[in-house]
């Protein structure tokens, strides 16, 4: 996704001269398995009127519009996650979750084989899915965590956990010290 590339470029510029910058420049890869789910399709399958962007703007323009939109989006996501009719979607929840798990396991193997850290730029839905996989919370609780995810948040995994039954453990989730240090609250944005 374009915004992931933009974030990566900003990070590479901030890291210029460091070992991270050299690694990013020499090992840059794009992997579509880290792409976000199709939020527009999920919304439209739940509420077809939202295919028209004016409809979304009208909802958001109402008093308490963001809360209303969050309710609609949460219901759409719950429908997608629990849908018995998975053929309604280009990518079903099980297929999305499997794709993310595949990407995660591929990166874990790469880190374990090379001994080098890996930096992945992706979206809140993917990070929330990784948390759901590793923490084993029910899929329908996905949105509870997803709404709290901050744009550009940093999540770290330990791929050599003390429990060998786990592929990785989360050591930090959605941290934003790079934004907090700026002391500009408007930099902290959500989905």
* pLDDT range class, residue 27, cuts 50, 70, 90: low
What pLDDT is stored for residue 18 in this prediction?
63
The better pLDDT of the pair 16, 103 is held by: 103
131 pLDDT higher than 90: yes
Structure tokens at 114: 């090379």
Q: CA-to-CA distance for 43 and 155, rounded, in angstroms?
A: 27
Percent of the chain surpassing pLDDT 90 = 51
What pLDDT is stored for residue 114 in this prediction?
86
Q: CA-to-CA distance for 156 and 145, rounded, in angstroms?
A: 16
Tell me the average pLDDT across 14-43.
77
Q: Where are the domains of the chain?
A: 2-7+31-149
Lowest-confidence segment of 20-34, 40-54, 101-115, 167-181 by average pLDDT: 20-34
185 pLDDT higher than 60: yes
Sign of CA dihedral 30, 37, 173, 137: negative
1 pLDDT higher than 60: no
Span 150-169, pLDDT tens digits:
888 899 999 887 888 888 89
Helices (H), 2-123: 2-14, 19-27, 39-46, 53-61, 65-82, 93-114
What pLDDT is stored for residue 46 in this prediction?
95
Say if CB 92 and CB 86 are below 8 A apart.
yes
């Amino acid at each position: 996704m374009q915004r992931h590339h933009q974030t990566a470029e900003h990070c590479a510029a901030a890291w210029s001269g460091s070992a991270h910058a050299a690694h990013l420049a020499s090992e840059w890869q794009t992997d579509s398995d880290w792409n976000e789910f199709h939020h527009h399709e999920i919304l439209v399958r739940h509420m077809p009127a939202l295919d028209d962007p004016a409809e979304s703007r009208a909802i958001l323009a109402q008093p308490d519009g963001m809360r209303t939109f969050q309710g609609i989006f949460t219901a759409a996501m719950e429908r997608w996650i629990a849908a018995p009719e998975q053929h309604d979607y280009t990518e079903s929840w099980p297929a999305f979750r499997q794709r993310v798990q595949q990407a995660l396991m591929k990166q874990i193997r790469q880190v374990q084989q090379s001994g080098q850290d890996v930096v992945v730029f992706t979206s809140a839905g993917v990070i929330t899915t990784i948390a759901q996989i590793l923490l084993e919370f029910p899929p329908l609780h996905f949105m509870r965590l997803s709404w709290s995810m901050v744009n550009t948040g940093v999540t770290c995994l330990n791929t050599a956990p003390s429990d060998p039954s786990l592929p990785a453990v989360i050591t930090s989730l959605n941290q934003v010290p790079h934004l907090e240090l700026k002391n500009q609250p408007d930099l902290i944005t959500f989905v």
